[in-house]
Amino acid sequence: MIHFIGAGPGAPDLITLRGAKLLGETDVIIYAGSLVNPALLDRRKDGCQVYDSASMTLEEVLGVMETAEAEGKDTVRLHTGDPSLYGAIREQMDALDAKGIPYDVTPGVSSFSGAAAALRAEYTLPDVSQSVIITRMAGRTPVPEGEGLRKLASHGCTMVLFLSTGLLDQVERELMTGGYAPETPAAIVYKATWPEEKVFRCTVSTLAETARREHITKTALITVGGFLGTDYDRSKLYDPAFTHGCRKGSEP
Ligand code: SAH
């Protein structure tokens, strides 16, 4: 059996209870060494085989899984954050389906949640933004036409950019051409939830300059939007005057 597990964004106690249990019981671990905190490996049992997928191909990863399966062993495939985001798990699952190898998936805390915690922010503020766009700047990995950053920027909503820290000059240009004002608040969150976590608040027009000044080139998320500002409406849910299914408001 193969268990795909979200390791969480970095802090080793941000893996789920289910993920931690499976990690402690498994015979083989294949972990994404470039981003998963190696401290998580301390949970492994004696004799557990460990592979770092950072230098492996998909075929090699599948080979390890297949061998383990033939030997009646369990394998944990440990992905950073939540595996459904930029995790390349679909191709692994499809290959396992084709080979008839069973698997399950345990979700994880994504780094975009870790970044909000680091920022002490709420992505969805009433009257500011009720939508979050999770995307990346097209680089060596292309982005489908129609999802270009400039186009997405036209919504003006909360945006979280993965895998784009090395491309901030283009990010800035696309965001501003698309519709964000240069002074729109932005933040770079480096290694959210790790001991080295750093938060740099800036504006859309100073993203690249900020990253250069602070020497941030990777393992960071770029967050953009009015949610980082000071103005918002309070929620209806906790407004004394507002009636809803669980509470009667003070005014009709
Ligand atoms: N599945 C992961 C994302 C993998 S893509 C998740 O859900 O978080 C890898 C990118 O995620 C990195 O380039 C970086 O942009 C971002 N990232 C991962 N961990 C991070 C962290 N702790 N802090 C900031 N960004 C992080």
User: Tens digits of per-residue pLDDT, 119-136?
Assistant: 999 999 999 999 999 999
pLDDT at 46: 97
Q: Which residues pair with 142 in a beta bridge?
A: none
The reply to whether ligand 1 has any atom less than 6 angstroms from the CB of 32 is no
Average pLDDT over the chain reads: 96
The closest residue, in CA terms, to atom 17 on ligand 1 is 219
Task: Tell me which residue has tokens 């390349």.
Answer: 88
pLDDT in tens, 84-119: 999 999 999 999 999 999 999 999 999 999 999 999
The reply to whether ligand 1 has any atom less than 6 angstroms from the CB of 221 is yes
114 Cα to the center of ligand 1, angstroms: 9
- Measured in residues, the chain has a length of 252
Q: How far apart are CA 219 and CA 207, in angstroms?
A: 15
221 Cα to the center of ligand 1, angstroms: 7
Q: How far apart are CA 127 and CA 76, in angstroms?
A: 43
Per-residue pLDDT at 252 exceeds 70 = no
The DSSP line for the chain is -EEEEE-BSS-GGGS-HHHHHHHHH-SEEEE-TTTS-GGGGGGPPTT-EEEEGGG--HHHHHHHHHHHHHTT--EEEEESB-TTSS---HHHHHHHHHHT--EEEE----HHHHHHHHHT--S--TTT-S-EEEEE--SSS---TT--HHHHHTT--EEEEES-GGGHHHHHHHHHHHT--TT-EEEEEESTTSTT-EEEEEEGGGHHHHHHHHT--SSEEEEESGGGSS--PPPSTT-TT--BTTB--S--
Half-sphere exposure of residue 56, counting CA atoms within 13 Å on the CB side?
Answer: 17
- Reading the block at residue 238, the tokens are 């906790």
User: What atom in ligand 1 is closest to the CA of residue 219?
Assistant: 14
Q: What is the largest CA-CA distance in the chain?
A: 68
The reported pTM is 0.95
pLDDT at 33: 93
Task: Tell me which residue has tokens 């480096």.
Answer: 190
- Reading the block at residue 98, the tokens are 């084709």
pLDDT in tens, 200-251: 999 999 999 999 999 999 999 999 999 999 989 888 888 898 999 888 998 7
81 Cα to the center of ligand 1, angstroms: 7
Per-residue pLDDT at 41 exceeds 90 = yes
The reply to whether ligand 1 has any atom less than 6 angstroms from the CB of 35 is yes
The reply to whether ligand 1 has any atom less than 6 angstroms from the CB of 8 is no
